[in-house]
């Protein structure tokens, strides 16, 4: 449904207030860039977010990925309430930890042991540390356009257009151990990978860059080369874990890493991350020689949410994942048709339940093409969609979840058409 413009005046008034005491007015910088103004989520239900003035948005931002079961999955909400009734017990040993570890090891192909953290960023940090501890080496291969969280040692080359640190204030020395290559460049990897390298880390399916499948044979070749040189292969499945399939991209693509990093969807919206791997790969942590620290690691509330979420996904996987694919496929066709009908040059990429739109180029077959995309225009189109009652991540990414209904999808396809029409008109005036 088109949103009353007054809804955004409320959002602007809130933002002015927040900016006085909250840096950038938000708790994570990208949230502050939503156009026409960052909406204030007063409450949410299923796949819908409501602002303080009661406007309803169909939500595909999905908490930047975690909300695979929507905002109010009964199994997760009940598990969290039940857990709270038993007292907070932060930093205690509790039986949920082993139960969740058993579930992860039963569902993620590469997992025989796992360790819990509170975010994907922290989990990446632990995985890199495990690789260094296990190999006694320091160098890491990272690929352009893959994102692995905001730690200084890996927060570089987040886009294909610059290899430097990802933001102001990073210690430039912290990235010195990185060798940066183009994602998909198996030949380049064969040339640089040596016995100095502790690990090769990558998103096996590049959702962050713009939803790309790995080139044919790439992951197999990375697997072969890392084995040959004794480096660990780390799959960053923070997005793809429990989203592309129950067993993540590794299940879908049939390549098994030494270590996997998961987060987001595993927690159904509560903060959690994990590193999982074979008994051998996890030995530095399992033996206690590598200190794995963190006050909030394995906190009972996040663990309870995660147990409920993974149990639900496991029990419903045969129906749930194909259902997400089907709904996202309808959105893909709807977005493509809306752009075509209004003469807007845009690429639409989709992998499973993740959908990327990028304005400014007619197709975006590889990660390298993202250098030619117009992400400012994409952000403005996301704003046009928001005004039609559909929330996506501003840079053009949408996640379909199990709480979306056919009605939501049909309404969204109509919203694409209206947003494309207004976007085209407004850009013409502005141009
Ligand atoms: C692939 C990938 N790895 C790691 C992270 C970092 O996770 P978190 O934001 O939970 O720290 C993200 C976050 O978007 C991600 O997409």
User: pLDDT (tens digit, 9 = 90+) per residue, 32-76?
Assistant: 999 999 999 999 999 999 998 899 999 999 999 999 999 999 999
Residues 6+ apart with CB under 8 A from 282: 112, 113, 114, 115, 130, 259, 275, 276
Distance 236 CA to ligand 1 centre (A): 8
Cα–Cα distance measured from residue 398 to residue 393, given in angstroms and rounded to the nearest whole number? 6
Residues 6+ apart with CB under 8 A from 161: 371
Nearest atom of ligand 1 to the alpha carbon of 122: 11
Query: Do residues 254 and 125 share a domain?
Result: yes
Amino acid 6: pLDDT = 80
Are the CB atoms for 420 and 373 separated by under 8 Å?
Answer: no
Query: Do residues 404 and 281 share a domain?
Result: no
pLDDT digits (tens, 9 = 90+) for 295-352: 999 999 999 999 999 999 999 999 999 999 999 999 999 999 999 999 999 999 999 9
Nearest atom of ligand 1 to the alpha carbon of 208: 16
Residues 6+ apart with CB under 8 A from 201: 124, 127, 128, 140, 141, 142, 146, 148, 154, 234, 236
Query: Do residues 127 and 167 share a domain?
Result: yes
- Going by C-alpha positions, the residue among 254, 281, 276, 272 that lies closest to residue 103 is 276
Query: Do residues 97 and 200 share a domain?
Result: yes
Query: Do residues 138 and 173 share a domain?
Result: yes
Ligand 1, atom 3, lies closest to the CA of 148
Query: Do residues 150 and 196 share a domain?
Result: yes
Are the CB atoms for 242 and 310 separated by under 8 Å?
Answer: yes
Considering its fold, how many domains does the chain have in total?
2
Distance 120 CA to ligand 1 centre (A): 5
CATH number for position 178? 3.40.640.10
Query: Do residues 206 and 58 share a domain?
Result: no
Nearest atom of ligand 1 to the alpha carbon of 203: 1
Q: Determine how many CB atoms are found less than 10 A away from the CB of residue 270.
A: 21
Residue 347 phi/psi, 5° resolution? -100, 145
Residue 234 phi/psi, 5° resolution? -110, 120
Distance 239 CA to ligand 1 centre (A): 7
Nearest atom of ligand 1 to the alpha carbon of 263: 10
Cα–Cα distance measured from residue 157 to residue 69, given in angstroms and rounded to the nearest whole number? 32
The finding on whether 263 has its CB within 6 A of some atom of ligand 1 is yes
Range of the domain at 61: 6-71+319-430
Is residue 281 a part of any domain in this protein? yes
Most ligand 1 atoms within 8 A of CB, residue of 27, 28, 239 to mutate: 239
Cα–Cα distance measured from residue 257 to residue 238, given in angstroms and rounded to the nearest whole number? 14
Can you give the three-state secondary structure of 247-273, one letter per residue? CHHHHHHCCCCCEEEECHHHHCCCCCE
* Residues of the chain where predicted confidence (pLDDT) is lower than 50: none
The finding on whether 119 has its CB within 6 A of some atom of ligand 1 is yes
Is residue 1 a part of any domain in this protein? no
Most ligand 1 atoms within 8 A of CB, residue of 145, 149, 167, 243 to mutate: 149
Query: Do residues 169 and 23 share a domain?
Result: no
The finding on whether 120 has its CB within 6 A of some atom of ligand 1 is yes
Are the CB atoms for 255 and 220 separated by under 8 Å?
Answer: yes
Amino acid 431: pLDDT = 60
Query: Do residues 12 and 42 share a domain?
Result: yes
Query: Do residues 326 and 263 share a domain?
Result: no
Is residue 280 a part of any domain in this protein? yes
Amino acid 88: pLDDT = 97
Is residue 13 a part of any domain in this protein? yes
The finding on whether 147 has its CB within 6 A of some atom of ligand 1 is yes
The sign of the CA dihedral 297, 171, 158, 416 is positive
Query: Do residues 361 and 323 share a domain?
Result: yes
Annotated catalytic residues are 147, 236, 264
Last residue in a domain, options 250, 265, 298: 298
Task: Quote the Cα angle for 34-36-40, to 5°.
Answer: 65
Residue 61 phi/psi, 5° resolution? -70, -30
């Amino acid at each position: 449904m088109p949103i009353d413009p007054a809804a955004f005046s409320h959002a602007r008034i809130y933002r002015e207030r927040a900016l006085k005491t909250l840096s950038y007015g938000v708790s994570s910088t990208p949230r502050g860039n939503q156009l026409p103004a960052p909406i204030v989520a007063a409450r949410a239900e299923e796949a819908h977010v409501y602002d303080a003035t009661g406007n309803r948005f169909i939500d595909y931002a999905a908490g930047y990925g975690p909300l695979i079961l929507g905002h109010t999955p009964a199994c997760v909400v009940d598990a969290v309430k039940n857990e709270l009734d038993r007292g907070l017990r932060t930093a205690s040993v509790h039986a949920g930890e082993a139960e969740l570890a058993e579930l992860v090891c039963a569902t993620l192909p590469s997992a025989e042991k796992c360790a819990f953290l509170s975010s994907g960023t922290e989990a990446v940090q632990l995985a890199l540390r495990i690789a260094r501890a296990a190999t006694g080496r320091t160098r890491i291969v990272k690929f352009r356009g893959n994102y692995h969280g905001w730690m200084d040692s890996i927060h570089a080359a987040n886009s294909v257009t610059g290899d430097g640190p990802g933001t102001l204030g990073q210690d430039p020395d912290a990235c010195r151990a990185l060798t940066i290559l183009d994602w998909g460049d198996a030949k380049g990897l064969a040339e640089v990978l040596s016995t100095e390298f502790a690990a090769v880390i990558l998103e096996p399916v590049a959702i962050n860059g713009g939803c790309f499948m790995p080139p044919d044979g790439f992951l197999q070749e990375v697997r072969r080369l890392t084995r040959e040189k004794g480096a660990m292969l780390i799959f960053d499945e923070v997005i793809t874990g429990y989203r592309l399939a129950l067993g993540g991209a590794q299940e879908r693509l049939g390549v098994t890493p030494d270590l996997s990093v998961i987060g987001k969807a595993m927690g159904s919206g509560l903060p959690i991350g994990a590193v999982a791997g074979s008994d051998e790969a996890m030995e530095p942590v399992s033996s206690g020689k590598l200190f794995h620290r963190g006050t909030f690691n394995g906190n009972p509330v996040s663990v309870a949410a995660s147990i409920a979420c993974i149990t639900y996904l496991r029990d419903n996987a045969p129906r749930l994942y194909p259902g997400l694919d089907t709904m996202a496929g309808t959105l893909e066709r709807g977005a493509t048709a809306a752009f075509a009908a209004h003469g807007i040059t845009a690429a639409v990429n989709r992998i499973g339940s993740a959908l990327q739109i990028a304005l400014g180029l007619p197709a975006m077959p590889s990660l390298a093409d993202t250098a030619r995309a117009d992400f400012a225009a994409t952000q403005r189109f996301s704003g046009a969609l928001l005004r039609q009652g559909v929330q996506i991540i501003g840079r053009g990414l949408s996640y379909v979840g199990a709480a979306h209904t056919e009605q939501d999808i049909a309404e969204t396809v109509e919203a694409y058409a209206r947003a494309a029409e207004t976007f085209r008109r407004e850009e013409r005036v502005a141009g």
